[in-house]
Each structure stands twice: as structure tokens, then as C-alpha cells.
Amino acid sequence: MPAFASSRSVRDPIDPTTLLTAIPALLGFIPERSIIVVAFAPDRGISATMRHDLALDDAGEPTSELSTVLAGLGAITHSYGADEVVAIIADNRYPADSPRYRRVLAIADRHFDAIGGVAAGFALSAFDAGAAWSVIWCPAGQAWSVDVLDDREGVLDDPQTCPTAIAEAVKSGRRILPRRSEMRAMLEPVAGECSAGRPCPDCTRGVVPLGRAMSDAQLLDLTIGSVADGGGPLDCAEVAVLEQAVRRPQVRDAALALAVTDLREDAESVWRELTRRLAGPGRAGAATLLAHLHYIGGEGAYAGVALDVALEADPDANLARLLDTALRAGVRPTMLWEMIDGSYGTARELGVQMPEITRRAAG
């Protein structure tokens, strides 16, 4: 363990039940068959919460892919300056005390050696209210960040109503989703398109042809106006115009700034609707804007799902690829603020006035 006692606060170690019950709220969804790594800063605050599929082979042994993932997570937490890490295995395939899970944590311990290894490891079958948890790894007999001296086992409180879940719901307006797949379902295409590329059969409104000449400044003005109108629903003509906007690099880059203004919620609604109603590069552009909005707001799980959608719609989407690489490498949301400066600069070059920044940087 690194000796950083002088920089630590007098905050008490966290109770295991409190920590484990809060995990779904920290991730935004209820993880299944997962390994979760929680990194603690020198003041005992949580500096990162990371999840990955618990990849076991047919015999229940950790795969080489899982070892590679854990190595990457070890590098990320070390770069964050984490003082201690705790690992949680959520899996219903074997009993909590199965040696298979301890082998996973032994691998993780090696990959986290730069910060003293895994301080404590927990296992539980599911993140359900009343689910039993137990300590299955604690080489030193205790952890500095989590109190495992008195409680070696226990049961979860309700993850949906714990203080962390309530605080996250107040901050973002989102409930905890039962599965990560539900995040993806929120971005599935809707039946009946009305973009220029795929006009819906029931549309009677005029649609702006994708090839019609509109300047970047005009498109950016129209985009801000559509977002400021309350975030939808959009009629066919608006969708066609906004399709042009999200496919124009300068317009899209300037529109990134809406994520840190009072129009953030309305922008999220518009980007989400466009993602569902457009195809190809248009869908990719809208999903990239949505991913950036979530990423800079500290909502990594939502950002990751949106980036998957963007890259499936257009594998050559450069900004989506850049954001995806940064997210997988554990780049903090604060680093994206450099892009915001560029967004405002682009808007100024186009002669368009953007709303003021009102959102602070996420951690």
C-alpha cells in the first residue's frame, strides 16, 4: 500500500453494504455476470467505478480476454492516482465461495500491483434487495477504504431506493435500468422514417432534400433553434434539416457545446430522437453527439452504448472512434472540455452565438 496517510481525510471507511448497494446507481444499470472495480482516492472518495463482463470459459476458468481487460483496468486506476481498489464479482453461475472467483481476483491482484493489489474482494449472485454478499478476498485482513473487519458477509439494501440512487435520479432524472441492454433499446430505430434518405410513407410534410444548399451557419442556427424549442417531437422537415447538420463536421463540432449549457436536457432529447429516426452517417452523427453529452456529464455507461450505435451505423465515424478510444482508455470527462473550447471557437468562426456554459465539469 502506498503511504499517503498525511493526505487522507478523517472520513471513516465505508460500510460494505452501503458500497455494494450503491453500485447499480454508480453504473446506471444493474450489472450481471460482471466484475466491477471501484477505485478510491486518497481522501476515501470514489474516483472511478468500472465494469466488465466476467468472461469465464466452459469450465468456469478466467479467459485470457478477462486477464487483458484487468490489465487495462489496472493501468487506468494507476493513472488516476487511486490509493486503493476494491473488486466485486456479481455472478450466479457458481457459489459465492467458489475458488473460480478467487482465481479471478488473484489475477486482478497481480494487475493492480502498482497500487498495492486488490485490497478487498466481494462476491454476490445479483444486485437485488436482500441478496447475500460475502468477502472472498482480503490478503491483509483489512482494507483501508471499506470496513471488512466486523462484516464479512451481509445482505444488500434496495439498490433502487438507496441514497446514491436517489441522488443520481435527482441529478440526471434517470432511474437505474435493469440491464445495460435497456440502454441500447432506448436507441433502437423507430418504425417509419422521415429523413431524406428514408422518407416515411405517411409523411405529408415537405422534406428538405439532403442535397439542398444550406450554409453551416444556417444549419447551426436551425439546430440551436430546434433544441431550444423544447427538444421535440420533431416533424419530418426538421429531421431532414438536422440530418444535414449532424453530418456536417463543423456544425456537429459546434453543437457539442450544447452539452454544457442550459439546453443540455433538450439537446439530449433531440440527439436521441435523431439517433432513432436516422440511418447511416446521420444516425452515427446524432449518436456521437449523444455519446459526447453523456461522456462529458460523467455517464460513461450511456456514452459507451451510444458510441456502439454510432460505430455500427458508420464504422468510419472519426469523432465516434476518437471518443470510443478515450472512453475505453479511461480518459476522464474533464479532458473533453478542450473540445468545448474548440466548439465555441467554431461557432464564432461561423458567426453564430452559442448559449453560455452553465454546467460544471464532471469528475
- Which pLDDT belongs to residue 354? 96
Q: Are 259 and 324 in contact (CB under 8 A)?
A: no
Give the 3-state secondary structure of residue 30: coil
d(CA 78, CA 96) in angstroms, rounded, equals: 28
d(CA 138, CA 86) in angstroms, rounded, equals: 9
d(CA 275, CA 185) in angstroms, rounded, equals: 12
Q: Are 156 and 134 in contact (CB under 8 A)?
A: no
Q: Are 155 and 94 in contact (CB under 8 A)?
A: no
pLDDT at 3 over 50: no
Give which of 179, 198, 190 is closest to 272, Cα–Cα. Answer: 190
Strands (E), the chain: 34-40, 46-53, 84-90, 118-124, 132-137, 153-155
Q: Are 158 and 142 in contact (CB under 8 A)?
A: no
217 or 76: which carries more pLDDT confidence? 217
Q: Are 263 and 360 in contact (CB under 8 A)?
A: no
Q: Are 182 and 29 in contact (CB under 8 A)?
A: yes
pLDDT at 313 over 50: yes
Give the 3-state secondary structure of residue 114: helix
Residues in the chain: 363
- Which pLDDT belongs to residue 212? 55
> How does residue 10 score in pLDDT terms, banded at 50, 70 and 90?
very low
State the first-to-last Cα distance of the chain, in angstroms, to the nearest integer.
24
Q: With left for phi above 0 and alpha for psi between -120 and 50, is residue 173 left, alpha or beta? A: left
Instruction: Kindly state the average pLDDT of the residues 103-108.
Output: 96
pLDDT at 198 over 60: no
Give the 3-state secondary structure of residue 153: strand
The two beta strands, 118-124 and 132-137, are antiparallel
Instruction: Kindly state the average pLDDT of the residues 204-223.
Output: 71
Give which of 25, 18, 31, 19 is closest to 127, Cα–Cα. Answer: 31
Instruction: Kindly state the average pLDDT of the residues 278-288.
Output: 96
3-state helix, strand, coil in the chain (%, to 5): 50, 10, 40
Give which of 97, 101, 85, 84 is closest to 33, Cα–Cα. Answer: 101
> How does residue 178 score in pLDDT terms, banded at 50, 70 and 90?
low
Peptide bond into 95 cis (omega under 30): no
> How does residue 186 score in pLDDT terms, banded at 50, 70 and 90?
confident
pLDDT at 363 over 80: no
pLDDT at 197 over 70: no
Average pLDDT for the chain:
86
- Which pLDDT belongs to residue 6? 27
Instruction: Kindly state the average pLDDT of the residues 183-188.
Output: 86
186 or 7: which carries more pLDDT confidence? 186
331 or 63: which carries more pLDDT confidence? 63
pLDDT at 341 over 80: yes
Helical (H) or strand (E) element with 346: helix 337-350
Instruction: Kindly state the average pLDDT of the residues 18-36.
Output: 91
> How does residue 80 score in pLDDT terms, banded at 50, 70 and 90?
confident
Beta-bridged to residue 325, according to DSSP, are none
Q: Distances from the Cα of 5 to the Cαs of 42, 47, 83, 109, in angstroms?
A: 8, 17, 10, 22
**333: Cβ contacts below 8 Å, ≥ 6 apart:** 295, 296, 297, 298, 361, 362, 363
d(CA 306, CA 193) in angstroms, rounded, equals: 20
